[in-house]
A and B are shown apart, each in its own frame.
Chain A
Amino acid sequence: MSHSIDDVHIPNPDFDPTDPHATGQGHHGHHIISAPTLMIVLLLLLFFTALTVGLSRGEVWVQDTFDIILPNWLNIIIAMSISVIKATLVGAYFMGLRFDKALNSIIMLVCLAAVVCFLFFTAIDLGNRDSVSAVRATVPTPGGTGEGLDKTADRFSTALSPRISTNRMPITEFRRTERLNELALKQAEDHGRIEPNDEDKAAGEAEFWRIYYQGYVDKGKHPHRHEHDEHNYFTKLPDHFAHHDDDALEPVSRPDVAGVADSSPNFSFRRTGKTPGLFSEGSEHASDHAAPASDH
């Protein structure tokens, strides 16, 4: 080896071939987590799982029993705090971060910081749009324009989704219309008619709402209305439903859509928020955006 300054050929006195980076740890033994620790952590995790489920069900129970609507954020904060505790337990013990080099924990923290930035700044934009100018502050059509769904060309296409033409309706509205037509047709068939008349349509719609509120009926409860419900759907129910008539609440079978039982046995009435848009004629708003829509 040639060097211009020969007297630098001094082996570094601190250099230890078995510990080249002078970490001072040498052949450190790997930490073995004891079996009881693992067991305790598992039990803790199961306990927290039960707790978070229990609190969530408890909230439903409080509401059912006392008609107290707990604020939405309570649910979120409790569930997420418990999740964070559980995640910390898994990370610290099962994944061994507690006994590991600090660097690995730092990596996780930096990664979580990036996640927080991502969530936080995106939420700032989408949650706070158009707050200074009334001109911009409305949404033309709840549920979407339906515009891109007009795909009826029967040609080779990469889209694997069903080719439907919703006629600029939101998809939920489109599907509901489909179902209402189906039910009206069925009523007409039952009455020996080919084309459904108004009576069939009304009966079909009544049938529709009966199925719609099946979940409430299955729980053996009256549908609750409270101040959060802007749209009074219950006036759309057949009369005996709307009047809390216990006799009329005969048990009905679960909705049998497409021949398969509904997969949601815990269907309960919705407790929070309002439900706009179900009959708000979204497609007409879309064409009529010239009028200042400011009812939100």
Chain B
Amino acid sequence: MTMPFSLPLTTLANAVPPVRVLPNNADGFQEIFFRTNGQTDSAVWTDGLFMLTFWFSTFFFVLLMGLLVYWCIIYRRRPGVPQKISPSHNTPLEILWTVVPSSGMLVIFFLGFQGYMDKLVPASGALQLEVTGFKWDWKVSYPDGTQTGQTVTLGGRNDIKVHALPEDTEVSLRLLSNDVIHAFWIPDFRMKMDVFPNRYTGYGFRTPVLGPEDDHPEGRYRDHWVFCAEYCGDLHSEMAAVLRVMPRADYEQWLKDQGSSGDPVIDGKRVYSSMCATCHTVNGAKNIGPSWMNLYGSTREFEDGTSQIADDNYIRESILNPNAKIVKGFQPQMTSYQGVINDTDIANVIAYMKSISEHVEQPAEGEGEGEAPASETDAEGEG
């Protein structure tokens, strides 16, 4: 895919040593625009460039609008005051106001280019995360294969998935989509990249160092929102997640907690929250897909008029080849999870579905699984 020649872009970007364009302090206009500082080095760079551009623009804007208002007042049309003769052009002046802003733009371009290369190329040896976007959630795989299942309520939203990162660490993201184009945007890091089916994209950043303001009752961490920025369908606006930067020790512990608990129901529930909760509820409400409450063992009626009892094989087929049988009243919207979910997890999901179905005899104690999913935050024991 690479042309025989390729310009040495990185060399070009480093040809002029990067200079910090403005001091990094979130006050004044910078606070109005961004509220907080950029959280990574390259984000600070971006803020600086933005503010530089802002003042550059403001200078010309105020100049032009000032002249406009002033001249509109002093040259307003008044009865009995004849108009004046005035020049119709002035070549030196015109050259001046062409050249001066143009050179300013050259500077802005080059600073932007330097910041771009800085964001795009991850440091060698960085912690590499595989991010898969799908309708409508992100799946993040850690180098040891761990996937996240922890969710929190944040910013007025339930079921926001949390992905932990160690503080002060180089991270490299590799992005791939399972269906349509998404974009992985971390506003605090001032960086986004489109996520494509059948093509890897990615970028790198260095996670921030935690400060005293990051001590919370439940632990030491700082949250950063992730949004999907490329329009991808019905729940595009719900496709959010949180990157939680925490001390390295906490991160190691967190990673360990994400592993198997030994109980297929709990593991299945974790798979549910990480991959299925966007479209399927467990409280009986209808969403994009059918609710899982009392699904297992019930009789499913399909669009083509046939029906079937939901057993293990049916559920497995529905996960791997979802459009084979469409339940009456639903659209064939789900994409295949072949290659996304492994057999163990399918078994765990089935165990979880059994545990919330009245068509299956529950164990004597009954773990109270029927309760609303909003209280799910306790499952992982924060951090």
Residues of A that sit less than 8 Å from B by CB: 126-133, 135-141, 144-145, 147, 150-155, 165, 167-168, 283, 286-290
B326 at the interface (CB under 8 A from A): yes
Whether B53 sits at the interface, judged by CB under 8 Å, is no
Could you tell me the distance between the alpha carbons of A230 and B120 in the complex, rounded to whole angstroms?
A: 33
A290 B199 Cβ-Cβ under 8 A: no
Known: A127-B3, A152-B324, A290-B130. A132 touches B336 (CB 8 A): no
B120 touches A153 (CB 8 A): no
Cβ B176 vs Cβ A289 within 8 A: yes
What would 5 more interface pairs be, CB under 8 Å, given A140-B176, A140-B199, A150-B323? Answer: A127-B1, A135-B128, A145-B197, A147-B197, A287-B338
Produce 1/0 per residue, B1-24, CB < 8 A to A: 111001001100000000000000
Give the residues from 188 to 238 in chain B that come closer than 8 angstroms, CB to CB, to chain A: 197-204
Among B1, B200, B201, B338, contact of A289 (Cβ-Cβ < 8 Å): B200
Q: Which of B141-159 contact A (CB under 8 A)?
A: 141, 145
Min CB–CB distance A171 → chain B (angstroms): 13
User: Given A132-B117, A147-B179, A147-B336, A152–B323 Cβ distance below 8 Å?
Assistant: yes
Q: How far is the CA of A52 from the CA of B31 in the complex (A)?
A: 67
Q: Which residue of chain B lies nearest to A168 when distances are taken between CB atoms in the complex?
A: B338
**Chain B positions 93-120 with a Cβ under 8 Å from a chain A Cβ:** 117, 120
Contact between A167 and B338, CB atoms less than 8 A apart: yes
Please tell me if B380 contacts chain A, counting CB pairs below 8 Å.
Answer: no
The answer on a CB contact under 8 Å between B198 and A135 is no
Is there an interface contact between B9 and A140, defined as CB atoms closer than 8 Å? no
B197 and A135 within 8 A (CB)? no
Task: List chain B residues, Cβ under 8 A from A127.
Answer: 1-3
Question: For the complex, is B355 an interface residue (Cβ under 8 Å from A)?
Answer: no
In contact, B323 and A133 (Cβ under 8 angstroms): no
Q: How far is the CA of A261 from the CA of B122 in the complex (A)?
A: 54
Does the CB pair B339–A287 fall under 8 Å?
A: yes
Q: How distant is A173 from chain B, measured CB to nearest CB, in Å?
A: 14
Given A128-B2, A151-B323, A167-B338, CB of A290 within 8 Å of CB of B141: yes
B325–chain A nearest beta-carbon distance, Å: 9
Query: Could you tell me the distance between the alpha carbons of A150 and B179 in the complex, rounded to whole angstroms?
Result: 12
Contact across chains for A135 and B122 when beta carbons are under 8 A apart? yes
Give bound CA distance, A135 to B339, whole Å: 20
A136 x B202 contact (CB < 8 A): yes
Top-8 shortest CB links A-B:
A287-B339, A135-B202, A131-B6, A153-B332, A127-B3, A145-B198, A136-B200, A128-B3
> Please, how many angstroms separate the alpha-carbon atoms of A135 and B200 in the complex?
7
Q: What residues make up the interface of B, taking CB atoms closer than 8 Å to A?
A: 1-3, 6, 9-10, 117, 120-122, 128, 130, 141, 145, 172-174, 176, 178-179, 197-204, 303-304, 321, 323-324, 326, 332, 335-336, 338-340
Which A residues touch B321, using CB under 8 A? Answer: 150, 152, 165, 167
CB-defined contacts of A289 to chain B, threshold 8 Å: 130, 174, 176, 200
Partner of B339, one of A133, A150, A165, A286: A286
> CA–CA, A136 to B197, complex, Å?
13
Is the pair A139, B1 in contact by a Cβ cutoff of 8 Å?
A: yes
Residues of A within 8 A of B178 (CB): 147
B347 to chain A, nearest CB (A): 18
Cβ 8 A contact of A144, one of B173, B198, B203:
B198
The winner among A135, A140, A286, A290 for most chain B CB atoms within 10 A is A135
Chain B residues near A150 (CB, 8 Å)?
A: 321, 323, 335-336
Q: How far is the CA of A290 from the CA of B130 in the complex (A)?
A: 6
A228 to chain B, nearest CB (A): 16
Give bound CA distance, A167 to B317, whole Å.
Answer: 12
CB of B115 to closest CB in A, whole Å: 14
Please name 8 pairs of A and B residues whose Cβ atoms are closer than 8 Å in the assembled complex, sorted by A: A133-B121, A137-B1, A137-B2, A147-B335, A150-B321, A151-B323, A283-B339, A289-B176
Contact B122 A168 (CB under 8 A): no
B10 x A132 contact (CB < 8 A): yes
CB nearest to A293 among chain B residues = B200
Contact A139 B199 (CB under 8 A): yes
Beta-carbon nearest neighbor of B331 in chain A: A153
Residues of B within 8 A of A131 (CB): 2, 6, 9
- Chain A residues, CB < 8 A from B339: 168, 283, 286-288
Tell me the complex Cα distance, A243–B28, Å. 80
Nearest residue (CB) in B for A290 is: B130
Nearest chain A CB to B241's CB is how many angstroms away?
19
- Docked pose: A131 CA to B2 CA in angstroms: 7
Bound complex: CA of A136 vs CA of B1, how far in Å?
11
A152, chain B: closest CB distance, angstroms: 5
What distance in Å separates the Cβ of A144 from its nearest Cβ neighbour in chain B?
Answer: 6
Residue numbers in B under 8 Å from A152 (CB-CB): 321, 323-324
Contacts of B338 in A (CB 8 A): 167-168, 287
Closest A residue to B335 by CB, please name it. Answer: A147
**Residues of chain B with a CB closer than 8 A to A154's CB:** 304
CA distance A159 to B253 in the complex (A): 50
Minimum CB distance partner of B326 in chain A: A153
CB distance from B204 to the nearest CB of A (A): 8
Question: In the complex, how many angstroms separate the beta carbon of B288 from the nearest chain A beta carbon?
Answer: 15
User: Which residues from B are CB-within-8-Å of A287?
Assistant: 338-340
| Given A128-B3, A145-B198, A147-B336, A136 contacting B174 (CB threshold 8 A) | yes
When the two chains form their complex, are residues B200 and A140 in contact, meaning their CB atoms are under 8 A apart? yes
B176 to chain A, nearest CB (A): 6
A138 to B179, CA, bound (A): 18
Tell whether, in the assembled complex, residue B172 and residue A132 are in contact, meaning their CB atoms are under 8 Å apart: no
A140–B132 Cα distance when bound, in Å, is 12
